[in-house]
Amino acid sequence: MITEPELEGGWDDDRPAAPAREDGADAEVRRPRAPWLWALGGALVASAVWAALPVLQDRSFGAPRIAYRHSEDLCKETRLDTLLKTTAPAMSNHRAHRESPALDWSHCEYFTEWQEKGTSYQMQIMVELHKKTDPEAEFGVTPGVFGEVRSNSGEVEQVAGLGERALMTSRSPYTSGPRLQVLDGGAVFTLAVGWLGDTDEAGGEGPQPDEDAVKAAMIEDMRILMARLRR
């Protein structure tokens, strides 16, 4: 007849001896993490994934997201009121647009009145909707439909609060004025301002505008246009 000690001994022969518990502190160290901590960690990870999902979808799966509508008459959508108040009244405008399976674009160009001994301005605004290819890789690098609008020169700085990414290029010896570009999903917005000062009798260049004020007006008019075109 197998006694109780023999039964216990038979089961314990192949098992390692359990470590002795010296005090309550060791038990506390070995205690499994509270379930709510695991739940909280999982919730934080899930929240981060869901927050990043729209951007991942925009950049990784299929056609880029387009949150803006195409306009056949961009001059109607924006009169660049802030810019014109900062510079000079508009004398005329010119518009153009095109639609295709891969790209829809619309363009508007304003010219201000020429003033003797003053400064004349040219303003170009363009909206491109890329329906098949993500424009992120070429944003701010290659020329778009109008190469003169996207020429690369001058100091470039980031602009906060416009789309996913916005760049402001300052005037340089090779450009006639600043340029603002905004990327948001498959949409690219470009606003360029150029000016020419009338030469005075002494042969010097005419009055020049406050470039910082022009840039601030460009940002404001771009913000208004993007809000107007948003679906």
Question: Using one digit for the tens of pLDDT, what is the confidence trace for 144-172?
Answer: 555 555 555 678 999 999 999 999 998 87
Shared domain for 187 and 162, answered yes or no, is: yes
Separation CA 49–CA 86 (nearest Å): 44
In a domain, 52, yes or no: yes
The DSSP bridge partners found for residue 105 are 98, 128
Position 124 scores a pLDDT of: 94
**pLDDT tier at 18, thresholds 50, 70, 90:** very low
Look up residue 71 and give its amino acid: S
In a domain, 8, yes or no: no
In a domain, 127, yes or no: yes
Position 62 scores a pLDDT of: 72
Q: ∠53-55-59 over CA atoms, to 5°?
A: 115
Domain range enclosing 153 = 74-229
Shared domain for 44 and 115, answered yes or no, is: no
Of the candidates 112, 108, 119, 107, which has an alpha carbon nearest to the alpha carbon of residue 83? Answer: 112
Shared domain for 133 and 210, answered yes or no, is: yes
Shared domain for 214 and 189, answered yes or no, is: yes
Shared domain for 43 and 123, answered yes or no, is: no
Shared domain for 159 and 193, answered yes or no, is: yes
Question: Using one digit for the tens of pLDDT, what is the confidence trace for 34-79?
Answer: 554 444 455 444 454 444 445 444 455 578 999 999 999 999 999 9
In a domain, 3, yes or no: no
In a domain, 68, yes or no: no
What is the CATH number for 225?
Answer: 3.40.1000
Shared domain for 50 and 160, answered yes or no, is: no
Separation CA 24–CA 227 (nearest Å): 63
Separation CA 25–CA 20 (nearest Å): 13
Number of domains forming the structure of the chain: 2
Of the candidates 43, 60, 38, 121, which has an alpha carbon nearest to the alpha carbon of residue 85? Answer: 121
